Structure 1
Amino acid sequence: MNDNVTFGILGNFNKPEFYEILNDLCSFLKISKINFLILKNNNLDINKVSNKEYIEDLTEVLKQTDIIISIGGDGTIISSVRKFLVYQKPVLGLHIGGLGFLAECNKLNYKKKIAEIVKGNYFIEKRMLLNVKSKENDVNLNIINELVIERRDSARTIKTNIYISGEYANCYESDGVIFSTPTGSTAYSLSAGGPIVRPDMELIILTPICPHTLSMRPLIINDTDKIDINFNEDPNREVSLTVDGQIQKNIQCRSRVVVKKSKFYANYIKFAEDDYFKTLRDKMSWKGNLRV
């Protein structure tokens, strides 16, 4: 039993159903005598919040809460993980929106899931992250799903040299390359032909985007390896670095980029009854043997 747990609540304020779920969630927590705070945000429409007295700034939410409830889709959950990453707050995703691989509950079952957390019937799954650095461009970012390095302002392919722990691996002539965490294996990397891996594994996935040569296939790289990247291009040509589809930096091809395992982990709330492969079957619409 964990009667003293305090939840911090945030989410995608732009989704039409956000405030309905937020107010229903807060009412449930109040009636259940469960402590909570709502994270103050410039985009939060206070007039639509029923429990305004629970709105606090980030400092207070960090100080007083144990678990973060993130209301929204995968992008919202990724943003929430990033916001609280340094503080290692575990995140419970409450899904509203489209496909959604990261959320552990939805508007139909979240009350049951929260009750299980209060009883102590949950665990925290730690998932590895990546880190990308480019000293020339003052880039130092943690990667929850994937880093995409791709061409910019040109239809021409880019030639990306990859060195793994000091050993030359390959030059990918392609529209770009994706470096994915296990969590991100079902996102952009999968669309580009990358493999699906369990999110609790520790490895790095390198997936070329539309490679010029079809024999250039994805690579699975040890999580202890450091990946050095440079470009066989005009030094003044620019490429784009995009992290999790949310943070984008343009760098010149004379730059050097380093990708490696991050020192931080993402912490997700999980439950004993969770079945990763059932989730995969449902989300991917796998039908099994259609001849049966």
Structure 2
Amino acid sequence: MFKKVGIVSRADLKEALEKTKEICDHLLQRGVEVLLEEEISRLLGRPQLGHNLREVEMDLVVTVGGDGTILRASSLLKRPETPLLAVNMGRRGFLTEVEPGEALKAIERVFAGDYLREEYSKLSSSRTSGERFQDALNEVLVSSPLPSKMLRFKLYVDETEVFQFQADGILVATPVGSTAYSLSAGGSILAPSVKAMIVTAVCPLSPFRSIVVPMESVVEVELTKPGAEAIVVIDGMIQGRMGEGGRIKVRESEHRAVFIRFQSFYSRLKNRLLFTYKGERDG
């Protein structure tokens, strides 16, 4: 079933590269075709395994890093629905699934069919001209290119103006993204099974409670401050700029992200975000 496996790894962490080499060797011994990013293949001394992953289809991708590595891998996939198995070599790694010491065991479970398949919605965003940005797994953010520079926005849902406000930025997040920047900005957590997106303002001047809207809706953000400029950031990467009167439309993408799981969302939530401190007793 998984005959062609890609590996996306952090390149700045020695431990991540060592784990990537271990996973690579394990898969090669299994007779699996392994594809590495070109930079990683050079760092590991395996240039023959290097590929532009945007140009090849894979049956499975193993990420070795944190949530940032997962977001990067998601943007690289030629086939967006390629399953991801995430090994945590980051700090918190909420989206990751297994710790480094369990990586090889997890791979064997995948090949044995002993896993859960979890699908996540992604967001499509575009200008009113029709120019489309890269799909977002986490969020679409419109913010000032300068720190502490407040902007003025109008928010529309399904062509109805909902709110006018001033803030450092505004983001539209998926349920996956609700545990990331949106959460840090005061938004609520959405379970992956909730078919909705959450709209959260970043440092608003006046009180702004996050709004949860159906995934079938279309959210529009308009920049209204005279002479202002904003940047459009998709999953932490700047994708474009917009000026006064510019609008960004956000809706559910036709593509989805697929993750290999061994535990439930609520277990990950407890273990990685809602920490139980040493010395505490549950219940």
TM-score, normalisation: structure 2: 0.90
Looking at structure 1, the residues matched to 186 and 264 of structure 2 have their Cα atoms a distance apart, in angstroms, of 24
**Per-residue deviation, 1:57:** 4.4
Q: Work out whether residues 39 and 55 of structure 1, in 8 Å CA contact, stay in contact via their aligned partners in 2.
A: yes
Looking at structure 1, the residues matched to 42 and 148 of structure 2 have their Cα atoms a distance apart, in angstroms, of 45
Does 1:267 find its partner at 2:258?
Answer: yes
Looking at structure 1, the residues matched to 169 and 31 of structure 2 have their Cα atoms a distance apart, in angstroms, of 48
Local SS of the residue matching 2:135: strand
Looking at structure 1, the residues matched to 23 and 183 of structure 2 have their Cα atoms a distance apart, in angstroms, of 34
Of 35, 40, 44, the residue aligned with 2:40 is 44
What is the CA deviation profile of residues 222-253 of structure 1, one whole-angstrom value per residue up to 9, with x for unaligned ones? 1111112213211x320121111123422112
- 5 Å-filtered alignment, 1:204-219, equals 204-214=197-207, 216-219=208-211
Looking at structure 2, the residues matched to 110 and 88 of structure 1 have their Cα atoms a distance apart, in angstroms, of 22
Looking at structure 1, the residues matched to 110 and 188 of structure 2 have their Cα atoms a distance apart, in angstroms, of 33
What is the CA deviation profile of residues 233-290 of structure 1, one whole-angstrom value per residue up to 9, with x for unaligned ones? 11x320121111123422112212111111111111123xx03222112212433876
Of 265, 273, 279, the residue aligned with 1:284 is 273
Looking at structure 1, the residues matched to 248 and 53 of structure 2 have their Cα atoms a distance apart, in angstroms, of 32
Q: Work out whether residues 53 and 76 of structure 2, in 8 Å CA contact, stay in contact via their aligned partners in 1.
A: no
Aligned residues between the structures: 281
Local SS of the residue matching 1:210: strand
Of 12, 27, 30, the residue aligned with 1:29 is 27
The residue number in structure 2 matching 1:58 is: 53
Distance 1:185 1:47, change over 3 A: closer
- 5 Å-filtered alignment, 1:166-205, equals 166-205=159-198
**Per-residue deviation, 1:105:** 1.5
Amino acid at match of 2:137: I
The residue number in structure 2 matching 1:227 is: 219
- Which deviates the most, 152-161 or 119-128? 152-161
Give the root-mean-square deviation of aligned CA atoms.
2.4
Q: Work out whether residues 54 and 78 of structure 2, in 8 Å CA contact, stay in contact via their aligned partners in 1.
A: no
Does 1:237 find its partner at 2:228?
Answer: yes
Unaligned ranges ≥5, structure 2: none
**Per-residue deviation, 1:171:** 1.0
Distance 1:59 1:74, change over 3 A: closer
Q: Work out whether residues 124 and 250 of structure 2, in 8 Å CA contact, stay in contact via their aligned partners in 1.
A: yes
Of 253, 256, 259, the residue aligned with 2:244 is 253
**Per-residue deviation, 1:106:** 2.2
Amino acid at match of 1:229: V
Unaligned ranges ≥5, structure 1: none
TM-score, normalisation: structure 1: 0.87
Q: Work out whether residues 223 and 243 of structure 2, in 8 Å CA contact, stay in contact via their aligned partners in 1.
A: no
- 5 Å-filtered alignment, 1:63-142, equals 65-84=58-77, 86-136=79-129, 138-142=131-135
Distance 1:207 1:57, change over 3 A: closer
What is the CA deviation profile of residues 201-241 of structure 1, one whole-angstrom value per residue up to 9, with x for unaligned ones? 22110011111112x2110011111112213211x320121
The residue number in structure 2 matching 1:165 is: 158
Distance 1:211 1:58, change over 3 A: closer
Local SS of the residue matching 2:34: strand
Q: Work out whether residues 80 and 257 of structure 2, in 8 Å CA contact, stay in contact via their aligned partners in 1.
A: no
Looking at structure 2, the residues matched to 226 and 188 of structure 1 have their Cα atoms a distance apart, in angstroms, of 21
Q: Give % identity.
A: 24
